[in-house]
């Protein structure tokens, strides 16, 4: 009986946490399908659902004069910018993170733990503390208002986490696999690419998705380094609504749903690999 009551209490707390996390987003989704008059009246459920708020984001008619329509029409381009930046950050994390983590996990050398702690400590530095030096650095190289500036900034903050997670996950892989590959004639690099990395796919997928989502949702450095729609990601474009007067809240809600949709879909598709990858890193 005591075990049953304990389990019920755990399930109840989990339910409260789920409601706390899901309810605000569910309300934003509901508002995005409302006409503006319903949202202003404080309705929780749309009585007259409409998709007009979403269609405005994909209109190409420049004669549209609604407040906020010009910003909304730039969303497809901003989403493309976020995809370019997020994909590049993910690939850089997988390439350099896997090589660095493999060296730390498999090659014993003096100071390896100190180097790993340095990676982890660099992740704790707040972005505000280095935003001015990074801005001056990007300006000196002529990288302002480019995808590359945002990619480098996001990689700087996501790579230490990638190395830390992959190092722990790589340590769970038996050495016998690499030894067998070497016996079969593989070079060290061939054993890494043909045997080791395919076995560690869950860990690679986990850090890849995490780095992509972290880049997708980052705001500070993207705002600092971009000024035009040529490189501006979707998070920065969404903040431009705050500069407009009397922008319909339903339009902002629809934009918020569009911003969160892709990371949410990726998390659902790869949830098993993410859980397996992070779990393997923790046990390692």
pLDDT, one tens digit for every residue, the chain (284 residues) = 667 777 888 888 989 998 898 888 888 888 888 887 777 777 777 888 888 888 877 765 545 545 566 777 788 899 999 999 999 999 999 999 998 888 888 887 887 788 878 887 877 788 888 889 999 999 999 999 999 999 999 999 899 889 988 888 888 888 877 778 777 777 777 777 788 888 888 888 889 998 999 999 899 999 999 988 889 999 888 877 766 556 677 888 888 888 888 888 887 887 776 666 565 554 55
> Which residue, 55, 70, 85, sits at the end of a domain?
70
Same domain, 124 and 52: no
Same domain, 112 and 47: no
CA 265 – CA 271 distance, rounded (Å) = 10
> Which residue, 50, 70, 90, sits at the end of a domain?
70
- Pick from 238, 252, 246, 259: which is nearest to 32 by CA? 252
pTM, entire model: 0.83
Same domain, 96 and 217: yes
Same domain, 88 and 58: no
CA 67 – CA 71 distance, rounded (Å) = 9
**Residue 15: how many other CB atoms lie within 10 Å:** 10
């Amino acid at each position: 009986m005591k075990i049953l009551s304990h389990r019920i209490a755990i399930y109840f707390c989990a339910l409260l946490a789920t409601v706390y996390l899901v309810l605000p987003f569910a309300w934003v989704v509901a508002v995005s399908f409302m006409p503006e008059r319903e949202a202003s009246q404080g309705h929780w459920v749309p009585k007259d659902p409409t998709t007009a708020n979403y269609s405005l984001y994909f209109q190409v008619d420049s004669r549209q004069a609604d407040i906020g329509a010009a910003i909304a029409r730039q969303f497809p381009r901003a989403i493309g910018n976020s995809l370019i930046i997020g994909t590049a950050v993910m690939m850089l994390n997988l390439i350099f993170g896997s090589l660095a983590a493999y060296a730390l996990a498999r090659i014993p050398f003096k100071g390896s733990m100190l180097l790993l702690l340095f990676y982890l400590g660099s992740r704790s530095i707040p972005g505000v503390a280095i935003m001015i030096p990074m801005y001056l650095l990007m300006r000196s190289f002529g990288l302002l208002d480019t995808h590359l500036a945002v990619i480098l900034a996001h990689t700087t903050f996501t790579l230490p986490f990638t190395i830390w997670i992959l190092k722990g996950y790589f340590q769970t892989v038996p050495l016998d696999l690499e030894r067998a590959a070497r016996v079969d004639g593989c070079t060290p690099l061939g054993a890494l690419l043909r045997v080791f990395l395919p076995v560690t796919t869950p860990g690679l997928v986990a850090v890849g998705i995490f780095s992509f989502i972290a880049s997708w949702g980052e705001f500070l450095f993207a705002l600092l380094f971009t000024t035009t729609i040529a490189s501006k990601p979707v998070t920065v474009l969404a903040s431009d609504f705050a500069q407009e007067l009397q922008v319909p809240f339903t339009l902002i809600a629809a934009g918020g749903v569009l911003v969160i949709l892709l990371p949410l879909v990726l998390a659902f598709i790869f949830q098993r690999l993410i859980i397996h990858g992070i779990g393997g890193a923790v046990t390692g």
